[in-house]
C-alpha cells in the first residue's frame, strides 16, 4: 500500500478515530479521508488522478453495467464482510451477463460516529477482493449522515464490463428440455449471517460463500456448451432466482430435491430457526441453464473449477403456462417451490 502524500497536518487516527460530518462535507477532512483511506487502499492510477470521474480506455464490444447496494447486518461475519461482499456481488452480476468485469465504482454512505478502524477493515477487505479479482475500483463517492440516520455504513457498487462476442445470456432464453445446473451448496451466506445475529453457536461456524465468480463464468463460456442463462441466487435464495427465470422465459421447471446440496450445519441451523434453505441467500454460487445435450459437458467444466466442486444438475425446464417451479421431494412426492411471500418468517409451529 502506497503511503499517502503528507498534505495534511495530522494523519487520520484510523485506530481510534470516528467518522465525522466533515468527512462528507467536500472540504479538507473529506479529501484526507479519501487520500489516506480509500485511495491508499484501492491504489490505482485512476484514483490517483484525483478527479471526480475515471477516464477509461475504449472498450471493444458490447458494454454491460450493473449496480448493487449492500446493507448487510452484521457488517462482519464468518467468511467476509460488507466490503468484499459489495465487490463480489457486482462483479458477479456483470459476469452473469456473459461479460468480463473491468471496472468498479464504490459509493459509501457513512454514519457519523462510525469507527474508522472498522471502516479501514472494510475498505482493506474491498481492496483485497478487487485486487484478487483483477477488477480495480476506479471511482467513488462518500457521504456522511448524522448519527442515528444510517446503520454504520451502506455501500453501493457499480460494475462495468464487456460481453463476450457472440454470447447473449438472458433470463428469457430458457427453453423446455434445457438442463438446470447449480454450482454448489445453498444457504451458506444467509445462515452465516443469520446464525451470528441469532446467537446460534456453530463450531466451526457457518462460513459465507461470498466469492467472485467471473473466473468460473469464463470456464463455462469456454466449455463450448450452449448457455441460455446464468444467474447468482442471492436474496430470496435459489427459489427466487428460479421463479424469476421461469416467469421471464414463460416456462416451468422440474427440480429434484435430492440433487440440491446443503451443508449439514446449514441444514441444522435452518431446522433450529424454522427456515427453508431454498429461500436463503447465497453469494458465491450460480445457476446455469443450458441446452440439454451439453449438460454433462458443462457439469464437468464446473466441477473442474475450485468454486464449483459440488456442482450438480438439479432439474430441467418444462412447458408450463403457469410457470410453476416444481420439485420432486426426497420422499418421492411433489411440491411447488414458490416465490417467497413477504420476508421469510421463521416457523415456530
Partner 1 sequence: MKYIDEFRDGALAGNIAANIAREAAAASGYRLMEFCGGHTHAISRYGIADLLPANVRMIHGPGCPVCVLPIGRLDQAIRLVRQHGVILCTYADAMRVPCSDNLTLMRAKAGGADVRMVYSTQDALHIARANPQRQVVFFALGFETTTPPTAVAVRQARLERLQNFSILCNHVLTPAAMHAILSIEGGAGLDGFVGPAHVSTVIGSRPYAPFSTDYGKPVVIAGFEPLDVMQAILMLVRQINDGRAQVENEFTRAVTPEGNPKAQALVAEVFSLRESFEWRGLGTVAGSALRLRSEFAEFDAEARFGVEYVAVADHKACECGAILRGEKRPQDCRIFGTACTPDTPVGSCMVSSEGACAAHYSYGRFREAAR
Partner 2 sequence: MCLAIPAQVEGLTDAGNAIVMLGGVRKEISLALVDGVAAGDYVIVHVGYALQKLDREEAERTLALFSEMSAMNEPEDSPPP
Q: Binding marks (x or -) toward partner 2, 170..199, rule CB under 8 A? A: -------------------------x----
Of the two residues 124 and 257, which places its CB atom closer to partner 1 in the complex? 257
Judge contact between 313 and 225, C-beta under 8 A: no
Tell me the C-alpha distance between 230 and 2, whole Å: 38
Over its C-alpha atoms, the chain yields an Rg (Å, rounded) of 21
What's the min distance (Å) between Cβ of 262 and partner 2? 10
Tell me the C-alpha distance between 85 and 70, whole Å: 8
Residue 331 found at the interface with partner 1 (CB under 8 A):
yes
Q: Binding marks (x or -) toward partner 2, 196..235, rule CB under 8 A? A: ----xxxxx-------------------------------
What are the grid coordinates assigned to 232, written together? Answer: 447468482
Judge contact between 221 and 167, C-beta under 8 A: yes
Considering only residues 256 through 285, tell me which ones interact with partner 1, judged by CB under 8 A. 258, 264, 267-268, 271, 273-274
Rounded to 10 degrees, what is the CA torsion of 312, 314, 315, 317?
A: -80
- For 331-338, which contacts have Cβ atoms below 8 Å and span 24 or more sequence positions? 337/238, 337/239, 337/242, 337/243, 337/255, 337/278, 338/239, 338/243
- Which residue in the block uniquely carries the three cell numbers 453495467? 65
Of the two residues 202 and 259, which places its CB atom closer to partner 2 in the complex? 202
What's the min distance (Å) between Cβ of 329 and partner 1? 5
Q: Binding marks (x or -) toward partner 2, 248..287, rule CB under 8 A? A: ----------------xx-xxx-xx-x-------------
Q: Which does 195 bind (CB under 5 to 8 A by kind): partner 1, partner 2, none?
A: partner 2
Nearest to 126 by CA among 97, 157, 161: 157
Q: Which residues sit at the interface with partner 2, rule CB under 8 A?
A: 195, 200-204, 264-265, 267-269, 271-272, 274, 347-349
Q: Which residues sit at the interface with partner 1, rule CB under 8 A?
A: 198, 258, 264, 267-268, 271, 273-274, 322, 324, 326, 328-336, 338, 341-342, 345-349
Amino acid at each position: 500500500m502506497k503511503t499517502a502524500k503528507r498534505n495534511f497536518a495530522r494523519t487520520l487516527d484510523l485506530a481510534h478515530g470516528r467518522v465525522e460530518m466533515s468527512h462528507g462535507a467536500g472540504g479538507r477532512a473529506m479529501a484526507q479521508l479519501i487520500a489516506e483511506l480509500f485511495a491508499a487502499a484501492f491504489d490505482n492510477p485512476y484514483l490517483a488522478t484525483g478527479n471526480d470521474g475515471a477516464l477509461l480506455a475504449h472498450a471493444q464490444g458490447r458494454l454491460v453495467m450493473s449496480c448493487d447496494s449492500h446493507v448487510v447486518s452484521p457488517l462482519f461475519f464468518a467468511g467476509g464482510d460488507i466490503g468484499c461482499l459489495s465487490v463480489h456481488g457486482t462483479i458477479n452480476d456483470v459476469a452473469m451477463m456473459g461479460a468480463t468485469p473491468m471496472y468498479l465504482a464504490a459509493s459509501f454512505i457513512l454514519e457519523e460516529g462510525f469507527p474508522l478502524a472498522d471502516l479501514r477493515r472494510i475498505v482493506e477487505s474491498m481492496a483485497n477482493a478487487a485486487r484478487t479479482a483483477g477488477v480495480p475500483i476506479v471511482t467513488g463517492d462518500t457521504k456522511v449522515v448524522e448519527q442515528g440516520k444510517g446503520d454504520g455504513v451502506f455501500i453501493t457498487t457499480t460494475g462495468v464490463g464487456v460481453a463476450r462476442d457472440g454470447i447473449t445470456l438472458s433470463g428469457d432464453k430458457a427453453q423446455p428440455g434445457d438442463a438446470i445446473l447449480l454450482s454448489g451448496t445453498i444457504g451458506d451466506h444467509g445462515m452465516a449471517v443469520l446464525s451470528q445475529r441469532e446467537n446460534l453457536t456453530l463450531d466451526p461456524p457457518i462460513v459465507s460463500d461470498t466469492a467472485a465468480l467471473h473466473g468460473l463464468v469464463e470456464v463455462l463460456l469456454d466449455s463450448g456448451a450452449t448457455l441460455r442463462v446464468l444467474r447468482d441466487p442471492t436474496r430470496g435464495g435459489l427459489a427466487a432466482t428460479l421463479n424469476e427465470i421461469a416467469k421471464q422465459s414463460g416456462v416451468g421447471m422440474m427440480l429434484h430435491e435430492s440433487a440440491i446440496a446443503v451443508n449439514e450445519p446449514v441444514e441444522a441451523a435452518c431446522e433450529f430457526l424454522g427456515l427453508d434453505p431454498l429461500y436463503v441467500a447465497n453469494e458465491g454460487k450460480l445457476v446455469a441453464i443450458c441446452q440439454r445435450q451439453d449438460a454433462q459437458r458443462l457439469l464437468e467444466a464446473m466441477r473442474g473449477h475450485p468454486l464449483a466442486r459440488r456442482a450438480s444438475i438439479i432439474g430441467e425446464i418444462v412447458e408450463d403456462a403457469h410457470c410453476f417451479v416444481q420439485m420432486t421431494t426426497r420422499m418421492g412426492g411433489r411440491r411447488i417451490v414458490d416465490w417467497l411471500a413477504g420476508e421469510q418468517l421463521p416457523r415456530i409451529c
